[in-house]
Structures are given as C-alpha cells and as structure tokens.
Structure 1
Amino acid sequence: MVDDIGQLVRAESPSADLAAVARSAEIVAAVGARRLGVEPEVVVVDGRTHLRWRLGAGPRRVLLLGHHDTVWPLGSLAARPFSVRDGVLRGPGCFDMKTGLVMAFHALGVLSALDRVDGVTLLVTGDEELGSPSSRELIEQEAAGCAAALVLEGAAEGGALKTVRKGVSLYEVRAGGRAAHAGLEPDNGVNASVEAAHQLLAVAALGDDGRGTTVTPTVLRAGATTNTVPADGRFAVDVRVREAAEQARVDAALKALRPVLDGATVQVTGGPNRPPLSREASEELYRTAERLAARLGLAPPAEAAVGGASDGNFTAGAGIRTLDGLGAVGGGAHADHEHVRIAGIPPRTALLAALVEDLLGTDSLGAPGSSAAASSGSAR
C-alpha cells in the first residue's frame, strides 16, 4: 500500500493545472485497475479529469468518494519529496487525500476477490480543492439511489471520523467608485477603497459565534496607482455554517448590501457552494462503524465536527447517508507538515471494507471463521 501511495504522491496534481490533473488521473487509473482488476471510465468535464469505477452489474448501492487533485503547485515534490521514515510517510497530497484512494483500492480489491462488490461505485474527482465546479453534478448523479456515501478524506485529529461538516458559501463583494487625481482633486473622486472598507466591516459582522457561523473577508484588492482615487475595490468572503437556515440568512444579507458613499456602487456575486453535512446524515453510519470496529477488534472510532467541507457535503445535501473522514490517520492537510501514520492504514482499510460489505447486505466481513474475516485479518 505504501508503494501505491508513493506512486500517486509522485504524480503532482494541482487542481488548476488541467494537464497535470490528467497525468495524475492516468497514474490513479493504473494503480486502481491493478488492484480492482478493471479499468475505470474516464470522465472529462470542462477539461477536468475524473475517474469512475462501477463494480458489478447490479443497481448502485454504495458510493465511495475521493479526489486526486491537490493544492500543491508543480515543483512542490522537489522540496517535499515522498518519504517514509519512523512509521510516517510524507509528501504533497499524501493525507489530502491520496492515501484514502489507495485504501479504497485495497479494500475493494479484497471484496472483489470475494465477489462482494456488486453495486459499488468508486468516484475519484479532479477538482475538489476548487469547490468541485465540474464534478458536483457527477457526484450527485452517482449518489442518487445509493444507500450510503463513504468519503475517503483524511480523518480528524486522533483518527476521528467526521460526522459533521460545515456548509460553505463563497462570495466576491465589489465596490465601484470614480477615479480622480489623489493630489489635485480627490474630492471629485468616489473612493472605492473606502466603500470596500465599509462593506468589509458590515460583512464581518454577519458571523454568529453561538450558531457556529463564520463570515470571513479574505483576499482584498483596490486601486491601481498610489496617486489615484481608486475606482474599483473588491474582496472575497468565506462563509461556514452548521445549519442550512444560517446559510440562507447570510446569503440574503450579503445580497442586500447597499453602498454607503454617495456615487458608489456595490455588487455581490457568488453564493452557497456546499450545504452542511449534519450529524443526522452520518449518525447511523457512524454507529455501524462503531459496531464493525468492535467486531474487527479495533479501537472504537471517535467522531468529530469540523469546519472544512468536502464532497460529502453534496451527498448529504442530496439526502444520502454520508460518513466522512474514513481515509488516512495523520494531519497537516495543505501544510508543510502533511503526513500519514502508516500503522493506521491497514486497520482503517479493514474497517472500510467491513462498512462496504455491511451496506451491501452480505455482512460477513469479520465474522468468525469466514473467508472475509481471514482476508481482512491478513490486511491488518
């Protein structure tokens, strides 16, 4: 498994580089086909490369969901090469989330050898880190009619499964003004920087700590030269919410913004990107994971609520039972210290296989004396 992870990590795949993502998809497809015994369908949407394995001929019942794109630009591997030392593997994208893909390949490989994958779909997208602009529809189509979606994102701290994820909305607020010479006739201008500052403070005040709603202005730009009253200013806004009602409240408030300065304009673009993943969507699957972990002799998995979003938000928003954080145990997503603890890979892979089989209704993985138990035991 470590060798397979190394192959995926060494295939750099920054989301915005379509050619790099396509090259990465070739490696992911080759590794997956080797473990599953079948080639994936390559799905290209708006130039972005996604992979889909539909296993068996029966109706779709279980969706495994992951992505192979990363936030790391080309050349990151030179400074942060794939490495294995003292039980820890490192490299760009190892935790988020190429280890999770390898875990899915091996879990399904065990079940495939036992002819227990009929109705399983594995979908590996190539634009998750951008907000899944080209893959959202594909994800929701594949989830439709499934009993559950299992998301191979890295675990929360300590290996906890992610049972709650905040919803995400993304906006740009643009302030329009009128240019003028800053020294000769500043009063003839309308300062878009000042208007943007008024709007930024109003937007930041929309957060609600009690409800877990954060509204964070992020990237800010204004003006063109130091001696000109700015005619244009803009800033991005990142919104995270636990509740759909809060997502709607903030959306309405942002779209109701009005200019403060005479002659200024305000335009708001964007909106909700991912709905919240509520505990109601994950609780039943989490309890199943607890039961199966006990059967496999594993420590009971903890659960966590996190602010980050994933493609699991889409499946939960579509009414599909969803359990997230089933991938690697480690940390440092998007950071220099990104890493995976190797000792956590085999037991988590066994748990994933058990979940899939349980959801398919065969429910024999890990049963005393069964061939499936022997297979998952050897995997541990």
Structure 2
Amino acid sequence: MSSSEHKLDILVDSFVNKLKRRQITGSYQVAHETCQFLMRVTSSSRWQSPEEFIALIRSIGQRIVKAQPREFAAGNVLRRVLALVRDEISDRSASASADNAPVNTAMFRLLVPPPDKQEQENNAQQGQNTRKIERKDDLRSIVIQGIRDLIDEIASVHENIAQMTVEMIHDNEVLLTPTPGSETVLNFLLKASLKRKFTVLITENYPNDIKLCHKAAKKLAEANIETVIIPDSTIYAVMSRVGKVLIGARAVFANGGCVTASGVATACECAKEYRTPVFAVAGLYKFSPNYPFDRDTLIEVGNSGKVLPYKDSDLVGKCEVTNPVLDYVPPEFIDIYITNIGGFSPNFIYRIVLDNYRTDDVDFS
C-alpha cells in the first residue's frame, strides 16, 4: 500500500469513527462535515479517470452509510457529488462526439503530402496522453468547485428559506411546531417575526426534546414572539385554534414522506383531522433519492431510561419500554415542503430528486 492510499484510509476511518461515536450529529452538521471530508478526499486521492473516482466515492459511501444509516445527509452529499461527476462525463462525451464529426476536406488534402504512419501514431499517442492528464486535472478542479458550491448552498439554506416567510405566515395567526429542535424552523419563525405578529405553540416532545423546547421558546420570547409551551397530549385539543403546523424534517424521501422527531406524525394526523395545513421546512441537502420501503428501519430507538427512571427498576421486568427518537410522516399528511429553492407539493418531490441525483448512485452496494 502506497503512502497516499494509507493517508486516504486514515482519513476515511477518522470520519467513519466520528459518525459511529455520534461526534457529528444533525443533518446540517453532517452535511457540512461530509462536504469538507470530500474536499480532502478529492485533493489527496490518486485516480486516472472519472470512472476510478466514481468507484472510489462509491466505496467510501458504502462505509459511511453502513456506519450511520440514519444520517441520510451524508449519503445525499455523496450522491450529489457523484451526479456532478456523471454530468461532466456526459458533457465531455457530447463535446467529443461533436469534435469527431466528419468534415469534408478532400479538396484541401490534394496539396498536402500524406503523413508518415509511425509519426501519425506517435502524435496521436502524445495527444491522447496530454488530453488525459489535462482532463484529470480539470475534473479534479471541477469537483472541488462543485463541493464548494454545495457548501455555500448548505450555509445559505436558512436565509433562502426565510425569504418565503411573508407569503406563508399571516398576521395574528396561531402556529404550532412539534419540532423544537429544528434550527431551520426556528430561523423561519424569527425571520417571520420581523414583518408579522403571531403566536407560536411549541410541544414538549417528551422525553427527548424538553431542553430544546425550553431553549427554543426562550429565543422566540426574546424576539418578542408570543410563545406557549404545551404538553404533547394537548395537541388535539388546541388544533382547532391553530392556523398552520410547521415541522422540521431530518430527511425527505422521493415519495414525499419525511423522517422527523418522534411524535410529529401524531401532530400531523391531528392537523389532517381539522384540515389544518402542514408545512415541512427542509433544505435541498435533506432530499434523499431513497424510498421508505421498510419504515421500521427508519425509526431510531433511544434511551428508555428517560421514559422509565432507573429508580422504578422493579417495573422493568414486568413491562417493555421503548423510546423512539425519530418518526416517519407519510406524504398525505404534508401539504407543502418549503425549501431553499421554493415551495413544492409532496407529489413533486420525485422531480426534484431526479434533477439532483442519478439512479446509478441510489444504492452504493
């Protein structure tokens, strides 16, 4: 194994271990760190053709997805980069076929002596080697620039989404958010408060997000937004007064469904009962080309000690306690996805996925 391959293995192992140990969590942080990791991989790895680079990224993607299968943002970033490379390959193939189109130069060749066969082969070989080196260097720079553009897109997600607040929120409206841990929803509400006056109801999301709930309520109150914390059990009772439900998504799938915090599906079902519109706020980097065929694998189970304290250990042998951290929301419970490129119906999500990913890279195996 060469020194460059050894350094690449160390780089990949370090990133995989960070994911396994939960040193990197949350879609935003995972997506940003994955971009930085791919930037280093692209700069330090050795490959001779775009196909070798695609094979390298796919092998790395296998390890990353296996290390943390529920951090969908990492796989989404890898697939976006692979789509960039495949687009560049197709563009070069189209330009090469155009350059090789036959040109009628028979009249001009009458005055030119035919070149020596050996000399012609040498010139062709030299030209081919030169073009191969230039194309490899060009592709490396194109990929690095594409990753930088992706980093800029991820960094400006909150700002671009916040531009739609005036169209989505009205004065003196009551809003409910069952995802107090979503920074995207929090920034959306803070931006809306600059031009609209409204009331926000925040659910506790017991037992996982109680601290995040109080933290978000404090930030909203400091921005002079009337904020009320309600228990999860009162969602159905207050839904008749709610004008809109705002939820944050951890991952959005091609069928229009999404994975989000535990308990959100119940709030969305209550909203559907009362015909209350549900808006899901998510950046484009959270959109995944996968389909949720097995929904049970999407649900992550957390520490059951938060539900049943250890002081009640006598009950442990008499009952089964589970604490789901994530929840799956079907597309029929969501009205609009608010993204950094606009608002879309869940039925249109597959079209956005096709524009940003390639079917060859949906499965890394």
TM-score (norm 1): 0.25
TM-score (norm 2): 0.26
For CA contacts below 8 A with separation 6 or more, give which structure has more relative contact order: 1
Q: Which has the larger radius of gyration?
A: 2
Higher helix share: 2
